[in-house]
Copies of this chain bind each other. A is one copy, B any other.
Amino acid sequence: MERREQILTIAGHLFSQRGYHATSMRELAKHLNLQGGSLYAHITSKEELLLEVVRQAAERFLKVLEGLKGDPVAKLKGLVRGHLEVIAQELPRATVFFHEWKHLSPPLLEEAKALRHRYEEGVQRVIAEGVEKGVFQVENLRLATLFVLSALNWTYQWYRKDGPLPLEVLAETYAGMLLRALGVAASPIGEHPEEGGEDG
């Protein structure tokens, strides 16, 4: 079991750095100090490995959703913090979850899509709840969800946990911008100021 975990970690690194297609089983075995053949005692195929890494990443992201508590603003803040934490702590797996999954073929591809979809739906529910409770104001729920995921996902491209920017600062700043984007403000956004203001 520990060996398998090690294989998955190295596979995640190689897939995310060089790309799935450019990573050979031979190379993977070399990084693990294994004979090419003995790798197959632990796994059945390179593609199965790819799906397994996607599964591990999905599990981490889905756990973020499960842990959300409080009002819509608190939930969104928790989502931002948790999502960025997964990226910072599990960069190779997150990269595979964001990218390399596309190289899977059916039926494994369908499982990866379903896992990604489940996470996206969870994020959408957080936003939808905020809209229902009158806390968030969005024009288009689906686009608002993609917008939130976009802003968060792209951090895998540039954020490094050992860099100068603490995760707390990134999470707080991003949460602030996302909440404003979702129409959370002390005063209503008022795109149509002519539609009656309060006089008193």
Contact = CB atoms under 8 A, between A and B. Distances in A.
Contacts of A178: 181
Nearest to A186: B190
Contact of A150 (B19, B150, B183, B189): B150
Number of copies of chain A assembled together: 2
Nearest to A190: B186
Contacts of A149: 154
A118 to B, nearest CB: 16
A61 interface: no
A177 B22 contact: no
A38 interface: no
A174 B190 contact: no
A185 interface: yes
Interface stretch (A2-10, A52-60, A70-78, A136-144): A136-144
A37 B41 CA distance: 41
A140 B186 contact: no
A185 B190 contact: yes
Interface residues of A, number: 41
Interface in A13-70: 18-22
A163 interface: no
Contacts of A182: 177, 180
Name, among A140, A151, A183, A186, the residue most crowded by chain B CB atoms within 10 Å (CB to CB): A151
Given A20-B19, A22-B22, A150-B150, A183 B180 contact: yes
22 contacts: A19-B21, A20-B22, A21-B21, A22-B22, A139-B176, A140-B173, A143-B173, A144-B177, A146-B154, A147-B151, A147-B177, A150-B150, A150-B152, A150-B154, A150-B155, A154-B154, A180-B181, A180-B183, A185-B189, A185-B190, A186-B191, A187-B187
